[in-house]
Amino acid sequence: MNYAEMELDRDVRNAAFDFLVECISRYSEGLPFQIIVKGFFFKGERVPLGGPPGIFKPHILPELPLSIRTAPEIPGKARLYDDRPNEEGVIIYKYQGTNPFRFDNIWLRKAMQCGAPLVYFYGVGQGLYKPTWPVFIIDDDPINLSFHIVADEQQLGVMGNYWEQRVSENDRRRYITVEVQQRLHQDTFRANVIRAYQQSCAICRLRHRELLDAAHILEDKHPKGIPAVSNGLALCAIHHRAYDKNVLTVKPDYSVEIQDKILHEIDGPMLRYGLQEFQGSLILLPKRIDQWPDRDALAERYSRYKAAG
């Protein structure tokens, strides 16, 4: 690219990052795919942020792609590309297709050589993506048909003259990428759990998605704390807090139990209607039986609850 093309590329990329800053304040659950495709306007020209291909270059950019995308996990359906972190936390992003010299794989190779910052759209639910930027390609692995990607710690709109930058301090960025991957992992878990529970709290049936959490039955650090819907409960903020603090629990028979000391307190309508009246009630269950809370996990959690009481 000549200097004018490099300047255009940088300005468009920075405008895209600025647009994403605005987007994440409005779409906390994830960016809808139609917003990604619609994109933004740059000097009167519409610039999509992504499209059906996993590796995307808008027409306005001379040579380099703007974004990469990993499709969301759909229960019961395998992902076409198994993008994942390696043991060091570096994201292994699969080639598009199996030809290393396919045009879009060549685009990413050029982006690696230039040290160009990209946007990574990670699917957290059907039609919803969490954007992470800037990410950088640090290695090309044609034997395994993949690129190695790391995330920078700052999601800033102005990147400076990245043409003079190269990926450095790889250890730092590997650590950051682990953090990013864990966050995206939790976003996916939350989206899947809340969808399975029909956008409702399993205990009180509150249907305001923005007030719902995905509570782990067995925590991440537990050997059996898998990120599956069967290890989660969709709970509103107050019931999630009460569940984590062993004020209430869900028994292996899917009924709610409240600690005795709470049942005998008198402290206004919130305590009565928010907690006490759910004693013995059955939780809302997902429609799919394979997504129902795992009884063994509930039994282990129940034993902790009894010990805490």
143-160 b/e with 16+ CB inside 10 Å = b?
eebbbbbbbbeebeeebe
Tokens coding 27: 């779409």
The pLDDT of residue 36 is 97
Q: What is the mean pLDDT of residues 1-20?
A: 91
Calculate the alpha carbon distances from 236 to 165, 193, 214, 239 in Å: 45, 12, 9, 5
Report the alpha-carbon distance of residue 67 to residue 108 in Å, rounded. Answer: 10
Neighbours of 38 (CB within 10 A): 12
As a residue count, the chain comes to: 309
Residue 162 has pLDDT above 50, yes or no: no
pLDDT in tens, 76-111: 665 566 677 666 668 889 999 899 999 999 999 999
Report the alpha-carbon distance of residue 131 to residue 89 in Å, rounded. Answer: 18
* pTM (predicted TM-score): 0.68
pLDDT in tens, 164-209: 444 345 555 555 666 676 777 788 788 889 989 999 999 999 999 8
Calculate the alpha carbon distances from 177 to 153, 168, 184, 189, 289 in Å: 8, 14, 10, 18, 35
Confidence of residue 154 (pLDDT cuts 50, 70, 90): very low
Report the alpha-carbon distance of residue 302 to residue 100 in Å, rounded. Answer: 52
**Region of poorest pLDDT, from 10-24, 53-67, 164-178:** 164-178
Quote the percentage of the chain above a pLDDT of 70. Answer: 86
In the chain, where are the structural domains located? 3-192, 198-308
Confidence of residue 29 (pLDDT cuts 50, 70, 90): confident
Residue 169: CA count within 13 A, CB half-sphere = 9
pLDDT in tens, 237-251: 999 999 999 999 999
Calculate the alpha carbon distances from 55 to 21, 127, 178 in Å: 21, 17, 22
Neighbours of 183 (CB within 10 A): 14
The pLDDT of residue 52 is 87
Neighbours of 166 (CB within 10 A): 12
The pLDDT of residue 164 is 41
DSSP one-letter code for 72: P
pLDDT in tens, 249-298: 999 999 999 999 898 888 778 888 889 999 999 999 999 898 999 999 99
Tokens coding 200: 């409702």
The pLDDT of residue 77 is 64
The pLDDT of residue 138 is 87
The pLDDT of residue 76 is 63
Report the alpha-carbon distance of residue 190 to residue 298 in Å, rounded. Answer: 18
The pLDDT of residue 185 is 74
Structure-model confidence comparison of residues 161 and 219, the more confident one: 219
pLDDT in tens, 211-226: 999 999 999 888 888 8
